[in-house]
Amino acid sequence: MLAQITIPGRMAATLTLRRNTDQTLAASHVIEITFNMPLNAAGGGISNVAGFVMRSSRAAPAIGLKGLTEKVKSSSFLIALSAVDPEMQSNVQLLKDRDWLDVAIVYNNGQRAILSMQKGPSGGRAFAEAFAAWKQ
pLDDT in tens, 48-93: 999 999 999 999 999 999 999 999 998 999 999 999 999 999 999 9
Residues facing residue 80 across a β-bridge? 30, 68
Residue 22 pLDDT class (50, 70, 90 cuts): very high
Q: Are strands 67-73 and 112-118 parallel, antiparallel or unpaired?
A: unpaired
| C-alpha separations of 120 from 48, 57, 66, 82, 98 in Å | 27, 11, 23, 26, 10
Domains and CATH numbers, the chain: 2-133 (2.60.40)
29-33, 44-48, 77-81: which range is least confident on average?
44-48
The pLDDT of residue 39 is: 84
- 70: alpha, beta or left, given left = phi > 0 and alpha = psi -120 to 50? beta
Quote the pLDDT of residue 40.
84
